[in-house]
Amino acid sequence: MAGRLAEDEPERAYKHARAARRLASRVGVVREAAGIAAYHAGEWAEALAELRAARRLSTGDDAYLPLMADCERGLGRPERALDLIKSPEAKKLDPMGRIELRIVESGVRRDLGQHDAAVVTLQIPELRDRRLRPWSVRLFYAYADALAEAGREGEAADWFARAAAADRDGETDAAERYAELDGLHIVDTDEPESAEPDAEGAVTEEAVADEAVTEEAEDVSPVDFVFRPPEPETVETPDEEAPEAPALFLEPRPDGEEPPPRQE
C-alpha cells in the first residue's frame, strides 16, 4: 500500500509505512518502504535512518545511496552528501543509480553556489544519447534546471523542450517551464471551456446555442452524411375565395378564312 501511494499521496503512504514498521521492524523491505515513504513526505531525518537500516538488513545494498545523499542535502548537510556521492560504494551502482547520484550532486553544487559546476556535473555521455532511456526525462530536466539557475536561459529552454518531448506520461512540469522561458501560453485542451455565466449566474441562451451547435458538429463524422433525392415540387393551389376566370377554348382557323368582325 505504501509503495502505491508514495508519489500520489505521500502523507498517507507515510502513515501506512510507519504502521508496517511497527509490525515488522526487522524486515529490510519494510524498512525500505518506510524510508521511501518518509523521503516523499519530506521527512529527511527519518528517511535517512530508515534507509540506513534497510541497507544493513539487506546485506549492504547500495541502491539507496542516491536517496540517502538527497536526504543529507535536504537536512542542509551538503558535505555529507558529497561524501556519499564520492564513496567507493557509489561506483558499484547500475547506470540508473549513477545518473541519479549525478542529479543529486548537481543539486548539491547549486546549494553551494557553484552553478557552473552544477551544469558540468550533468554533462555526461548519457545526456547526448539519441535513444530515450529510463533516466532521460529526469536527466534532461535536471540539466535544464541547472542551466536556468546558471543564467543560461536560452539553453535551458531548449533542454526543457527536450525533457517535455521525452516526458510522455507528464510526470514533470517541463512543458510549463519551457513555455515560461519562451514567453508562451499553454492552453489545456483536455478541459474545454464552458460558457461563462451572466451576472445572475445563469448561462446565456446564445452561449448554450453555440455549445449545442459545437457539440452537434463534433458528433458528425464524414460517413454520417446521407444523400437523398430531391423532393418533388409542390404547386400552390389558388385560394377558394378568388373568382374563377371563364375558360376559353380556341379552335384552329382554316387556311384562307377571315377572322370574324370584333363586336363593340
Per-residue pLDDT of the chain (264 residues; tens, 9 = 90+): 333 444 556 778 778 777 887 888 788 888 999 999 999 999 999 999 999 999 888 766 789 999 999 999 999 999 999 999 999 999 999 999 999 999 999 999 999 999 999 999 999 999 999 899 999 999 999 999 999 999 999 999 999 999 999 999 999 999 999 999 988 766 666 555 544 444 444 444 444 344 443 444 444 444 343 444 545 555 555 555 545 555 544 555 555 556 555 554
d(CA 50, CA 68): 10
Q: Which of 54, 22, 24, 19 lies closest to 36, judged by CA?
A: 54
**pLDDT at residue 260 in the model:** 59
**Is 250 within a domain?**
no
Instruction: Give the span between the Cα atoms of 88 and 59, in whole angstroms.
Output: 16
d(CA 159, CA 170): 16
CATH number of the domain that residue 49 is part of: 1.25.40
Residue-level pLDDT at 26: 83
Is position 152 within any domain? yes
221 within some domain:
no
Instruction: Tell me the C-alpha distance between 38 and 6, whole Å.
Output: 9
pLDDT for 42: 93
Residue type, 168: R
The answer to whether residue 207 sits within a structural domain is: no
CB 160 within 8 A of CB 174: yes
* Residue 218, in any domain of the structure: no
5 to 2, 30, 52, 184, 190: CA distances (angstroms): 5, 15, 22, 34, 25
Residue 175 makes CB contacts below 8 A (sequence gap 6+) with 160, 164, 167, 186
The helix (run of H) or strand (run of E) holding residue 213 is helix 205-219
Q: What pLDDT was estimated at residue 15?
A: 81
C-alpha cell at 227: 444523400
Residue 258 forms part of a structural domain: no
**Comparing C-alpha atoms, which of 77, 66, 227 is closest to residue 138?**
66
Last residue of a domain, one of 190, 205, 235: 190
- Structural domains in the chain (count): 2
**What is the per-residue pLDDT for 1?**
37
Retrieve residue 12's grid coordinates. Answer: 498517507
How far does CA 150 lie from the centroid of its chain?
Answer: 27
Q: What one-character DSSP code corresponds to residue 250?
A: P
Domain boundary among 190, 219, 246: 190
Q: Which of 61, 80, 96 is the last residue of a domain?
A: 61
Domain containing 156 equals 122-190
Report the alpha-carbon distance of residue 198 to residue 208 in Å, rounded: 12
> How far apart are alpha carbons 151 and 164 in whole angstroms?
20
